[in-house]
Amino acid sequence: MKHRFTIFALIVLALLSYALYQALVVAPTEQTMGDVQRIFYYHVPSAWTAFLLFFINFLASIWYLVQRKPAADIVALTTAEVGTVFCTVVLVTGPLWARPVWGIWWTWDVRLTSTLVLWLIYVSYLILRRFSTGSQTPVLAAALAIFGFVDVPIVYLSIWFFRTQHPQPVMGGGGSLDPRMWHALLINWLAFLAFALLVCSIRYRLEFLQRELEETQALESLLEPKP
């Protein structure tokens, strides 16, 4: 098991390194924005990865509400944590890209505002998981996760249905990319997905062991002879 984990971690490192090379060296410089456009290769894959993790969180939350499986609850927690990290990357890289291109760090248009709301929903989810100790916490968290996922399609579709400052999508929106840009984008997304899988697997294992330890300690306290 440890040997396989090490091999996978090395593969992820190699993918991330190759993706960095593709984004900074191989992909051509965008004619209008210049080199600042290279943030695109991290901003967009981070958003796609966050959306996928929130979708898995959504499915795991439904699974938990239906069957009350601890594994489903752990998957939901893990994907919410890692997804929130990637969503944070989106919110950080977005203004870094916007400032030299738009001349502003932030604007309260539908795409940006709904993304911030999405981040706040999942931060609230994690705060609930961290500070609530009641037996119904997983149920409440699952309900919040299902509600929170509603914002994901709103974020994604906002630039089609509303006038926004955010650029139109390169897929399905009439945009186009140089083939080398497409390659760099997809390689970075693959690298981010592999990295997310690696982190989720580590976090899942830690959470599983933590719960096993807590159950063992609770059982031992019950079996201890009363003075």
Coil vs helix vs strand at 32: coil
Written as one string, the DSSP assignment of 17-29 is: HHHHHIIIIISPP
- Among candidate residues 38, 62, 60, 121, the one with its CA nearest the CA of residue 87: 121
Q: Residue 16: which pLDDT band, with cuts at 50, 70 and 90? A: very high
Handedness of CA 41, 42, 44, 48 (dihedral sign): positive
User: Distance between CA 111 and CA 158 in Å, rounded?
Assistant: 6
- Among candidate residues 134, 152, 140, 129, the one with its CA nearest the CA of residue 56: 152
pLDDT of 99 over the 60 cut: yes
Query: What is the 8-class DSSP label of residue 75?
Result: H
pTM of this prediction? 0.89
Q: What is the 3-state secondary structure (H, E, C) of 91-159?
A: HHHHHHHHHHHHCCCCCCCHHHHHHHHHHHHHHHHHHHHHHCCCCCHHHHHHHHHHHHHCHHHHHHHHH
Q: Are 145 and 61 in contact (CB under 8 A)?
A: yes
110: tokens are 């539908």
Q: Would you state the pLDDT for residue 184?
A: 94
Mean pLDDT of 137-166: 83
**Segments making up each domain of the chain, as ranges:** 12-27+35-173
Q: Would you state the pLDDT for residue 101?
A: 79
Q: Would you state the pLDDT for residue 165?
A: 56
Q: How far is CA 87 from CA 80, 81, 105, 144, in A?
A: 10, 10, 17, 17
User: Distance between CA 27 and CA 120 in Å, rounded?
Assistant: 34
Q: What is the pLDDT of residues 74-89, one digit of tens each?
A: 999 999 999 999 999 9
Q: Residue 167: which pLDDT band, with cuts at 50, 70 and 90? A: low
Coil vs helix vs strand at 28: coil
Residue type, 167: P
Residue type, 16: L
Q: Are 81 and 127 in contact (CB under 8 A)?
A: no
User: Distance between CA 205 and CA 200 in Å, rounded?
Assistant: 8
Q: Would you state the pLDDT for residue 225?
A: 65
30: tokens are 């965008």
Radius of gyration over alpha carbons of the chain, in Å?
21
Q: Are 65 and 119 in contact (CB under 8 A)?
A: no
Q: Would you state the pLDDT for residue 132?
A: 82
Q: Which residues contact 205 (CB under 8 A, 6 or more apart)?
A: none
